[in-house]
Every structure is written in structure tokens, then in C-alpha cells.
Amino acid sequence: MVNLIIDGKNVTAKKDTAVLEAARAAGISIPTLCAHESVSRSGSCRLCVVEIKKGNRTRIVTSCLYTVEEGLIVDTKSERVQNVRRLVMELLLARCPESEVLQKLAKELGVDTQPRFVADSDKGKCILCRSCVRVCEEVVGVNAIGLSCRGSHKTVGPPYNENSDVCIGCGACAYVCPTGHIEMETTENKRKIWGRTFKMQTCDTCGRYFAPVDQLKYISKKTGVPLKDLSICMDCR
């Protein structure tokens, strides 16, 4: 176990725990966007910054990536931290002014929702955190989406923005997206996502549509469980 001080509080955490989790376990909240429990950490949104002190040196680090150290002193709300966080928030909001999630967070952080930076109008609600890409690769294992183009033209989606023939319509990307950028529409027997329409499977027991057929076929292929045995929804299992 490792002993450290966060916001003046003595905290004990397991070795290799991120400062973010150690703070949360101690009841201290830190704003985050890209740190989702289902995917590996990328440290891309920079909203979770905190100030750490080791000896006489202080510096700003991302709490979702920085792990606890014996004797570390962490300040999650110092003036320096708040200034960096507000600047990050302003930049994110200028990129995605329409994101309700960002607007709400900006208000909570005391950031004017009319950013002083020129607002983009072509980025949708995507902050390029790559959580969607990671979940598709790391958890689902199909690699249906990725980043394309460079610099300010970088976007996320299926290769060449064409319909992906490996996408299974599971919606994991929409689930982990922190800003609501990925549009997924599920109506009774159909699900639309990334420009494709997926047929939904009915539950053999209750008759309710519950998952895309392509997703069940993929699970069946991966696990060897017959498709017939997967055609029962979670409620009826």
C-alpha cells in the first residue's frame, strides 16, 4: 500500500492505482471525459489535471494516468489546476460548441459557454478522445472504426467514411463516447449506426427485439456457442 496526501487528506491506496481512483475513493471528485472504466487510459482530454508535489517541485499531471507514490502531495483544486482545467474546457468547447455534456461541464467549472476562441462548426461533438476506437479494438475486437485524416481534419469513423463491413452494430462505441457524438438509433427491429442499418434479433422466450443479429453471429463465432442458444435476451436467461 502507498500513503499520500490529496487535498490535505491522508489517503492510502494500492500500488499502481491512478491518482484519479485514489482521489475518488477518498470522496474527492475530479472532472473527466476520456477515462472510461471499459477502455484503457489515453489521457487525451486533459480535464483531469491535478498538481503534484514531490520534494520542492510541483507540476501538473493527468490524474487518470499518474499513479500514486509514497509521500506524494496532490492538490486537485489549486489555482493553477483550475486555470489549466478552465483553459482545456474552453478549447474543448470551442471545438464542440454543440455538445450538451461539454456545456454542462463548462458551467460547473465556471467557464463562459461563449468561448473566446473561434468555435468550430464541422467537428460535431467529437473531442477525438479515441475511447470509441479503443473499445472497438480492445473490448469488442472488430476494429470497425479508427481515426482518419491529419491535423485539424482528423475524424473518427469507419475507414474512408464508408460503411464498415466488419461493424456488428453492438453500440459499444456510442456507450463509451463521453460527448454524445456517435449517433445510434434503435427502433424495434432495426438499429442504425455509422451509416449502416442492422437487423435486430427477437428473444426466443419473450419475443422482444434485443440485439443486432450480426452481433450475436459474431459472439457465436468467437465463443463457439450456437446462435440458437444466444437468441434469448438477458431478462429471460
Of 94, 124, 118, 117, the residue nearest 106 (C-alpha): 94
DSSP secondary-structure letter at 154? -
Closer to ligand FES by Cβ: residue 170 or 173: 173
Residue choice 11, 128, 167, 193 for contact with ligand SF4 (CB under 6 A):
128
> With CB cut-offs between 5 and 8 Å by kind, which of ligand FES, ligand SF4, none does residue 156 bind?
ligand SF4
CA 166 to chain centre: 22
> With CB cut-offs between 5 and 8 Å by kind, which of ligand SF4, ligand FES, none does residue 47 bind?
ligand FES
d(Cα 127, Cα 194) in Å, to the nearest integer? 17
Q: Residue 95 corresponds to which cell in the numbers above?
A: 471545438
Write the DSSP assignment of 14-66 as a string of letters. Answer: -TT-BHHHHHHHTT-----SS--TTS-----S-TTEEEEEETTEEEEEETTTP
Please state the closest distance from residue 95 (CB atom) to ligand FES, in A. 14
Please state the closest distance from residue 39 (CB atom) to ligand SF4, in A. 9
Closer to ligand FES by Cβ: residue 64 or 144: 64
Of 66, 38, 42, the residue nearest 54 (C-alpha): 66
> With CB cut-offs between 5 and 8 Å by kind, which of ligand SF4, ligand FES, none does residue 13 bind?
none
Rule CB under 6 A: say whether 126 interacts with ligand SF4. Answer: yes
Q: Residue 84 corresponds to which cell in the numbers above?
A: 489549466
Options 8-16, 82-90, 177-185, 195-203: segment touching ligand SF4 (CB under 6 A): 177-185
d(Cα 111, Cα 137) in Å, to the nearest integer? 34
Among positions 33-52, residues that touch ligand FES (CB under 6 A) are 33-35, 43-48
Rule CB under 6 A: say whether 74 interacts with ligand FES. Answer: no
Options 17-25, 82-90, 121-129, 205-213: segment touching ligand SF4 (CB under 6 A): 121-129
In which element (H, E) is residue 5 found? Answer: strand 2-6
| Sites of contact with ligand FES (CB under 6 A) | 32-35, 43-48, 62, 64
| Sites of contact with ligand SF4 (CB under 6 A) | 126-132, 156, 176-179, 181-182
